[in-house]
Structure 1
């Protein structure tokens, strides 16, 4: 698998820029060639990849009816919630916004988990750095901040339990946060957010499909139940949109089941552990941090053990290949 050949994807960063450009904001690329709009809602269903929706289309007829061949794209890298949502709000790839996984090195001794905004030492004998202020973590001005300064009204509808989290404060700058106690409140909150006398963009986030997938597996009874909820929610939002408003639906990543016989367990592989200080990220995209300077030897061992089904890159090769976008 060669992820360096995928860096031209439109991605969630460019979807964000396209939405803002279609709403009239200046300085953004309309890569998706969206028609002009005065009000747009983007509903993101966490974990609902294209193939999953195709496979379970009969359980989500409203969402399935929205599928278009030209609407299939790669969200960006790594395809994990923390990085994808940051790309969507910032209009930047992970190499520019800096959230490069569900966990990653903050410095030589510490890793940060952005969804919980918590830090831990790589090894028990090391001190670790406290988590930085979330509002200052993404250094460039985000796309939402730029568009908001131009007069666009940007809102985010999310479960109330996330509304004041550090991660929310880190990535949703430039947006009014509208916390909902349940998904039943989403359609009305979206309608209100778009019923303003200005170009308006409302981002709505559905979390529970991904949660069910991690606990019970994609395609499980619990997962299908949440897919049906997401389908009804999307239809309810659509039915209550103000006149002239547009609904778009996307996901931050897909999901698949794993054959346990094919899983490579780092904790049971002494050859992979050699010269490695720590691993971070999730199973979709691991960051491997080395204890020493034997990069070539470690790369060779990992490539030999994992084979062609994995892409094992040095940091320099990943950056040069555009895996993380602009860095």
Structure 2
């Protein structure tokens, strides 16, 4: 599998959020077949692990924030001594599910915001659970829960598992599966997370707590990752993390780790590509385009494959889904689940930097995107401190 020079491959051999999640779980006794996280973490003797996930906080974005003076709390934490990657595609649906399960996208099956589901014979939005073209609801989504959550495995081993997440997410189908086994601590405002997190650390039982901040991602999408609004939200997040650290007991047996599911890259409006029109979709493709605007999955009719490639080649790197799957883009091939292979179509188009593939089912253009394999999207921070 040949990738362009600017592409960052997910480092499932030890340097990705998959390996981080697997190692944190293994510390509390959850077995894993994945390589251990290669960078040192002060885990020895830690009874409590708190994993903070700031959605869309790329490593480059954090460096810029530290340079601006916007993140003094995060700057004081110990960084990983080498690069850490997201998964592919670099999107919340794939990466956060990996963090919740300690499994690669090719194992848990959440391979993008929208995917082709053989079970539904449709391209389905995995958050809203409907056919992206007809908006017909997916009647039975139980088959999507393909692997046990990390929290269920921790709970079954006597470890108290907790998630501190927005109240709005508590009852979704994805949350009920991905957070199964964890006690859910809902919040309305991020400023509530320090008190909620501190309450999860009890002296009598080992624990694992995930704290999730989605707001930065939402603002980066809406205003752009380099916008004043995004900078202000990161300053807010830094203050909240400072309050969270101050709220935790100083017992010496708690490890705090902060990371992100992916980064974000600015998306200029002129970089949107309108090659996949309704006419093209209806005549040349076996259904709507799936995936992400920065990582598109297509199912062209054989007789139209050359036409689709000609439309997209000026704007994107094209590779067959078979090559991507066997080449380990979605996870180590030895552990990939074959029944999920059709979910990524037959042809994958990863737009060049600054480009995005718009399709008839796309939302309004956004000034910040992710999903592709640029450094901005793929490289994430891992910071730690022992309390």
Q: How does 1:229-308 map to 2 (within 5 A)?
A: 229-242=236-249, 243=251, 244-267=253-276, 275-276=284-285, 277-290=287-300, 292-294=301-303, 297=306, 300-301=309-310, 304-306=313-315
CA distance in 2, matches of 1:165, 1:283: 24
User: In the alignment, which of 88, 96, 100 is matched to residue 77 of structure 1?
Assistant: 88
CA distance in 2, matches of 1:130, 1:221: 39
- Please identify, of 170-179 and 106-115, the stretch whose mean Cα deviation from structure 2 is larger: 106-115
**Other-structure match for 1:20:** 25
**Other-structure match for 2:124:** 112
CA distance in 2, matches of 1:197, 1:206: 28
- Partner secondary structure for residue 314 of structure 2: helix
| Pairing 1:68–2:79 present | yes
| Pairing 1:192–2:199 present | yes
Q: How does 1:1-327 map to 2 (within 5 A)?
A: 1-2=3-4, 6=10, 8=12, 10-27=15-32, 30-32=36-38, 33-34=40-41, 35-36=43-44, 37-57=46-66, 58-66=69-77, 68-70=79-81, 72-107=83-118, 109-116=121-128, 118-120=129-131, 122=133, 130-134=138-142, 136-242=143-249, 243=251, 244-267=253-276, 275-276=284-285, 277-290=287-300, 292-294=301-303, 297=306, 300-301=309-310, 304-306=313-315, 310-325=316-331, 326-327=335-336
Q: Which runs of 5+ in 1 are unaligned?
A: none
Alpha-carbon deviation of 1:144?
2.6
CA distance in 2, matches of 1:270, 1:112: 20
CA distance in 2, matches of 1:314, 1:295: 15
Alpha-carbon deviation of 1:303?
5.8
CA distance in 2, matches of 1:256, 1:229: 20
- Partner secondary structure for residue 70 of structure 1: coil
| Higher helix proportion (structure 1 or 2) | 1
TM-score using structure 1 length: 0.87
Q: Which runs of 5+ in 2 are unaligned?
A: 337-387
CA distance in 2, matches of 1:267, 1:294: 16
Q: How many residues align?
A: 318
TM-score using structure 2 length: 0.74
CA distance in 1, matches of 2:78, 2:64: 12
